[in-house]
Amino acid sequence: MIIAERKPLTEVLEMLDGSGEITVLGCRSCTAICLAGGEKEAKEMSEALSLHSELKGKGWSVRPITVERACEKEFILPLQGVKGTVLSLACGVGAQVVQEMFPMLQVLPGVNTSNMGAPEGIGVFVEKCAGCGDCILHLTAGICPIARCAKSLLNGPCGGSQNGKCEVSPDTACAWDQIVRSLTTQGRLDLLERNIPPKDWRPSRSGGPRRTVNVEAMPGDSQKAWRDTE
Amino acid sequence: MSVSMLQEMLDAGRFAVTAEIGPPKSCEPEQVRKLARMLKGSAHAFNLTDNQAANVRMSSLASSVLCLQEGLEPVMQMTCRDRNRIAMQSDLLGACALGVHNVLCISGDHQVFGNHPQAKNVYDVDPIQQLMIFRRMRDEGMNWGGEPLPQPPQPFLGAAANPFADPFEFRVARLAKKVSAGAQFVQTQCVLDVERFQRFMGYVRERGLDEEVHVIAGVIPLRSHKAALFMKNKVAGMCVPDHIVDRLRRASDPKEEGIKLCLETIDSLKSIPGVHGVHITAIAWEEIVPRLVQEAGIRP
């Protein structure tokens, strides 16, 4: 899922300065699961903003709205009729879809969207995938060095790996140490001897903003039209 | 014919000495020249670090050229941290055009250690891929994109090896990967734990890598037990045995003890089969290098 964390309140208050009508947008998908922007957080934020407005005489009118999935147009219809400012606790994708759908609104980010990861423990989330567009997990025992090695080394580990930890921080596991262990367990150490050549980064962000087309998912007529243009 | 004296020396089976020169955090050429003049004749070649510890310094290429002008043979270090494959190939062509042929391919310290922790790193390629790219340029006469090079560069390709990082069993495999990618010489992390280094070299010989690559073992003269503790606790991928820290702490003249310790290490390293030279890192104590090589009997 997409991992995000709440922006500091002071930063949010600064962004909202000069607003009148404020809608705090929660999302029941990823940001709800990482406890940054679900229904509960949207309600809390809404209350905090109302209190601040009251104390400082800001004159804000604040209310929360939580949708199922802010990144799909069908799900953000509850925002129809909303005016003024939307403080999005959905991820950066959701915030942009909302802005696209309602160009007259001022959509502000209430969270910092960070990465694609998974929960490691209660309240702890770890990055797993960098979305490079050319998966090599079959070569690395199911552990991604692009996302999880601080240097994205494809033939690691580097000389900074010690006691299973990355040189960057004692809190960071060395991904290549994990890969070596995992390959040992699987009896596939031969994979370590293979040099992985320079990667083609075009399917990654380096190829520019990406557009993914799944022709199978298109209606029949569109499929034919798409194939004719290809 | 070889364009690198270091390569000639090593290929001829002579014991090589390399030493490190850290470029200044300024644009004063005199700072490099001064060190170069002081160190001239103390080693066969001199490593010019590439923004070491991720701190902004004079570029390794510019510093290498300054050394050339002073009559020293440079080893230009090039990290994968700060340049993509376009810049790397461009820098290699530029280096060879200017007479800098020894190139050390390294991943580089992560930028969080340096004076610009906010920087974005590159890591378009890793050092093994960097070696593959440079070898293709030289041996196949084309850049990585496949375009022919009218005059291919002739680098002598080096890599780093750290016998003291983990997982230990993989360190030799990684060296083998570097060799198969094109490394002709490797310079190791500073050896303070000789016993562990001997075990590492045992594995190196077991795989026959000593026949394929010149291993140059790193050494470092330590000035005090505090310096030793700093290396132990603050430098990534270092292994400093407690008995060394204790020995320096107990010494009445820690500097002299550090020199003695370094000479003993060089002596042990010389006798390890497969070790073809030593690399001396004496950052901020460069003036000790001439004495070290003299007393170790390895002066070129």
Per-residue pLDDT tens over the stretch A26-68 = 999 999 999 999 999 999 999 999 999 999 999 999 999 999 9
For residues A107 and A141, membership in a common domain is answered with no
Q: Do A159 and B236 touch (CB under 8 A)?
A: yes
- Residue A225 is assigned to a structural domain of this protein: no
Closest Cα of chain B to A177: distance in Å? 6
Q: Which member of A174, A177, A192 has the closest CB to residue B173?
A: A192
- Report d(CA B35, CA B13) in Å as an integer: 28
Question: Is residue B1's pLDDT more than 70?
Answer: no
More confident residue, A221 or B279: B279
Query: B-chain residues within 8 Å CB-CB of A163?
Result: 166
Closest Cα of chain B to A155: distance in Å? 7
For residues A61 and A97, membership in a common domain is answered with yes
Nearest to A133 by CA among A147, A121, A123: A147
Q: How far is CA B285 from the centre of its chain?
A: 17
Number of alpha helices (DSSP H) and beta strands (DSSP E) in chain A: 7, 9
For B297, the token pair is 């009997």
Q: Do A180 and B167 touch (CB under 8 A)?
A: yes
B2 touches chain A (CB under 8 A): no
β-strands A169-173, A165-166 pairing:
antiparallel
Question: Which fold does the domain B5-296 belong to in CATH?
Answer: TIM Barrel (3.20.20)
CATH number of the domain encompassing residue A108: 3.40.50
Q: Is residue B189 within a helix (H) or strand (E), and if so which, with residue range?
A: strand B185-190
B162 touches chain A (CB under 8 A): yes
- Residue A124 is assigned to a structural domain of this protein: no
For B221, the token pair is 């003269």
For residues A173 and A87, membership in a common domain is answered with no
- Residue A164 is assigned to a structural domain of this protein: yes
For chain A, give the mean pLDDT: 95
Q: Which member of B112, B125, B170 has the closest CB to residue A198?
A: B125
Interface of A with B (CB under 8 A): 150-164, 167-169, 174, 177, 180-181, 192-193, 195-199, 201
Torsion over CA of B201, B207, B210 and B214, rounded to 10 degrees? -90
**Phi-psi sector, A167: left (phi>0), alpha (psi -120 to 50), beta:** alpha
- Residue A219 is assigned to a structural domain of this protein: no
Q: Which member of B108, B160, B165 has the closest CB to residue A161?
A: B165
- Residue A229 is assigned to a structural domain of this protein: no
Q: Which member of A151, A174, A198 has the closest CB to residue B144?
A: A198
Residue B256 has what DSSP assignment? H
- The pLDDT confidence band at residue B255, using thresholds 50, 70 and 90, is very high
- Residue A25 is assigned to a structural domain of this protein: yes
ipTM of the complex: 0.92
Question: Is residue B243's pLDDT more than 60?
Answer: yes
The confidence score (pLDDT) of residue A52 equals: 97
| A120 in Cβ contact with A126 (< 8 Å) | yes
Question: Is residue B2's pLDDT more than 80?
Answer: no
Q: Give the domain extent around A41.
A: 2-115
Q: Do A195 and B237 touch (CB under 8 A)?
A: no
Query: B-chain residues within 8 Å CB-CB of A153?
Result: 107, 123, 126
Q: Do B165 and A193 touch (CB under 8 A)?
A: no
Closest Cα of chain A to B63: distance in Å? 25
Q: Which member of B112, B144, B173 has the closest CB to residue A193?
A: B173
For residues A12 and A103, membership in a common domain is answered with yes
B173 touches chain A (CB under 8 A): yes
Question: Is residue B4's pLDDT more than 70?
Answer: yes
Considering only CA atoms, give the Rg of chain A: 22
B295 touches chain A (CB under 8 A): no
- The pLDDT confidence band at residue B250, using thresholds 50, 70 and 90, is very high
For residues A188 and A144, membership in a common domain is answered with yes
Domain boundary among A84, A115, A146: A115
- Residue A171 is assigned to a structural domain of this protein: yes
Q: Which of A20-29, A36-45, A204-213 comes out lowest in average pLDDT? A: A204-213
- Residue A120 is assigned to a structural domain of this protein: no
Q: How far is CA A63 from the centre of its chain?
A: 25
For A64, the token pair is 């929360």
For residues A100 and A147, membership in a common domain is answered with no
- The pLDDT confidence band at residue B204, using thresholds 50, 70 and 90, is very high
Q: Partners of B47 in the beta sheet? A: B20, B75
Q: Where are the beta strands (DSSP E) in B22-170?
A: 45-48, 74-79, 102-106, 156-161
- Report d(CA A94, CA B13) in Å as an integer: 65
Look at chain A and report how many structural domains it folds into.
2
Closest Cα of chain B to A152: distance in Å? 6
Most B CBs within 10 A among A146, A155, A177, hence the mutation to make, goes to: A155
Interface size, chain A vs chain B, as Cβ–Cβ contacts under 8 Å = 98
- Report d(CA B195, CA B176) in Å as an integer: 21
For residues A102 and A180, membership in a common domain is answered with no
Question: Is residue A7's pLDDT more than 80?
Answer: yes
Note the pLDDT tens digit of each residue in B89-147: 999 999 999 999 999 999 999 999 999 999 999 999 999 999 999 999 999 999 999 99
Query: A-chain residues within 8 Å CB-CB of B128?
Result: 154-155, 195-196
For residues A168 and A201, membership in a common domain is answered with yes
Nearest to B42 by CA among B62, B4, B71: B71
Q: Do A157 and B112 touch (CB under 8 A)?
A: no
Place of tokens 């906010």: B118
Q: Which member of B113, B132, B166 has the closest CB to residue A197?
A: B132
Domain boundary among A56, A82, A115: A115
B123 touches chain A (CB under 8 A): yes
For residues A145 and A96, membership in a common domain is answered with no
B165 touches chain A (CB under 8 A): yes
The confidence score (pLDDT) of residue B124 equals: 97
Long-range interactions of B143-147: CB distance < 8 A, separation 24+: B143/B89, B144/A198, B144/B85, B144/B89
For chain B, percent of residues with pLDDT exceeding 70 = 99
